[in-house]
Copies of this chain bind each other. A is one copy, B any other.
Amino acid sequence: MSSPLKPAQLPSVFDSLNPEKTKRVLETALLISQDPLPLNELKKLFNNELNTSILNNLLEELREKWADSGIELVTVAGGWRFHTRPEMLPFLNRLNPQKPPRYSRAVLETLTIIAYRQPVTRGDIEEIRGVTVSSPILKTLEARGWIDAIGHRNVPGRPTLYATTVKFLSDLNLRSLEELPPLEELGSLVETQEKNEAQESNEAQESNETPLITLVP
C-alpha cells in the first residue's frame, strides 16, 4: 500500500509506450473530453515527455484513422476535439427529439456585434441595433459561455465591456476570430451607381480596421 500522501511512481513514458500505445492514450483522452484539448494539455498525458512535432504527427495519424467514421478529429480554438460529422445528425436527432433552442434575431445580432466589434458595451450594441438590448439577451449568451464581461470602459457609469470567449469559437468550429465570415463590405450593400462612393467608404474602412469604434469615445 503506497501512502496516499505520495503520488504513485509512474514509469517514464518511453519505458512503457510505443507510438501505438501513445496514440491509444491520446485517442482515449480526446474521446472522454468534451472540451477541446490544447497541445500542452495533451502533453501532460505523457508527463511532458513528448515533443510537439511527434505529438502533431500522432494526432494527424489519429485524424486519418477516423476519416471514415461518424466522428472526426478537428482543431478548433481550444485545441483538438472529436465531434460528430454532419451526416450523423439526422440519426442522432432521433435520439433527442427536443431541438436545441434556436436563438432569436435579437440574440444573434447582439452576438454578432460582440463578435465583430469586441470589446463593446451594451450601449455600443444599442447604438448599432437602434433598440435597447435587454438583460436576458446578454444573459442568454453569457449562460451559453459564448460571451463574458472582460472589464469596464473608463467613462461615466463604467459600462461593462463584453467580448466573445474561446468556447464561442470552438462551439462554432473556429480556430480564431479571423475565421468568422468576413463582414459584407459596406460598399457592396449600395447600388452600383454609388460604386465610387462605396469604394471610398470601403477604403476608409480598410485603412481603419475598426472605424465604428470611433463612435465610442
Contact = CB atoms under 8 A, between A and B. Distances in A.
A31 B95 contact: no
A181 interface: no
Contacts of A8: 90
Nearest to A47: B94
B97 A24 contact: no
A173 interface: yes
Given A41-B95, A94-B45, A69 B4 contact: no
B25 A91 contact: yes
Nearest to A99: B4
B33 A70 contact: no
What's the number of copies of this chain in the assembled complex?
Answer: 2
A94 to B, nearest CB: 5
Given A3-B173, A10-B90, A32-B84, A27 B69 contact: yes
Interface of A: 2-5, 7-8, 10, 24-25, 27-29, 31-33, 37, 41, 44-47, 69-71, 82, 84-85, 88, 90-95, 97, 99, 171, 173
13 contacts: A4-B94, A7-B94, A24-B69, A25-B88, A28-B69, A28-B84, A28-B92, A29-B95, A31-B71, A32-B71, A37-B95, A45-B91, A45-B95
